[in-house]
Structure 1
Amino acid sequence: MSGWTIIGVGNRFRGDDSVGPYVIDRLRSRLPSSTPCIENNGDMTSLLDEWRQRRVCLIDALQAEDQATGAILRLNGLAEEIPPTLCRTSSHGLNLGEALALAGALDALPERLDLYAICGEDFSPNASLSAAVEDAARQVEREILEKLSLHTGGV
């Protein structure tokens, strides 16, 4: 089994959508250089190469009216249904659910996909990361560090 790869999905310039890159920035300084930390700006087709045959922690923003801003949804991306609110269309016309289906057809699935979706509120251009989403991002950062430590005997 391969090592872990961390992928943060989102646009740095769209408020709470920047949570994925935010977590990636924080983890890069805390993880060994042998642990890939990849920023994906929403290009779902590039995920096929980024996650192929790897154990992946993927961080993304979620729009959910029934969840509080900053709520964290944790999913096994290979075994659980991806909520439609995580299936935003990217500029390439694929969403996360479709990218997983395509990866399955092309034998390009990750070995493991631990998905951390953080509920955001403001996705407008040039908005800042909201305080509740920033707090949730730091919680996800801690959880990922703990997961990697447990699975590798230390990071």
Structure 2
Amino acid sequence: MSARVVVIGVGNPLRGDDGVGPAAVEALRGRVPDGTVLTVSDGEPARMLDVWRGADTVVVVEALRAQSARPGELHTLTAADAASRTAATASTHALGLAECLALAEVLGQLPQRLVVHAVEVADVELGAPLSEAVRSALPDLVDRVAASVRRAHGPNHEE
């Protein structure tokens, strides 16, 4: 039996670098094993929990606004790291990933494995395109996500 793997690109493509999650999901099409669920979300916790219900592994791709920003810098976080780190940073969404993870834990809906691939953003203004820093980081981000998905599907899908 194959693991159920869900990739969620969180963000809004109409808000500059906040669109990196959806852009990564689009770039993953055809690069991950069949059966991988690729979806986008605005980050609203109830919708996120609904999307990952029953998943063995969830991979979240997210924009991150750090206090000492280094636009384009990539981060790979566990669920615990993401909960503590994103709570101390500014999400580009009304409720951040930390709140979503806290809700999932309270409801007993955390997946067996959750990994977050995040990129630090430069510009999230309405109507802005991806910044040069984030656009340049996108190929490496997609490679990291694809590798996480292959690992989640098992040894037959490793590089």
**So what's the TM-score if we normalise by structure 1?**
0.86
Cα distance in structure 2, aligned partners of 1:2 and 1:121: 35
Which structure dedicates a bigger proportion of its chain to helix?
2
- Give the whole-Å Cα distance in 2 for the aligned partners of 1:71 and 1:128: 18
- Distance in 2 (CA, whole Å) between partners of 1:63 and 1:41 is 16
Alignment-mate amino acid for residue 82 of structure 1? R
Aligned to 1:75: 77
The aligned residue for residue 58 of structure 2 is 56
Distance 2:115 2:34 in 1: 21
**Unaligned stretches of 5+ residues in structure 2:** none
Q: Which runs of 5+ in 1 are unaligned?
A: none
* Sequence identity (%): 32
* Match runs of 1:64-103 below 5 Å: 64-78=66-80, 81-83=84-86, 84-90=88-94, 94-103=95-104
> 2:18 is matched with which residue?
17
- Structure-2 residue corresponding to 1:115: 116
Distance 1:150 1:133 in 2: 25
Shift of 1:53: 4.0
d(CA) in 2 for partners of 1:18, 1:148: 20
CA drift of 1:63 comes to: 1.0
* Superposed structure 1 runs of 4+ greater than 3 Å apart: 86-89
Letter in 1 for 2:69: Q
Cα deviation, residue 127, structure 1:
0.4
C-alpha RMSD over aligned residues: 2.1
Change (3 A) 1:101 1:147: closer
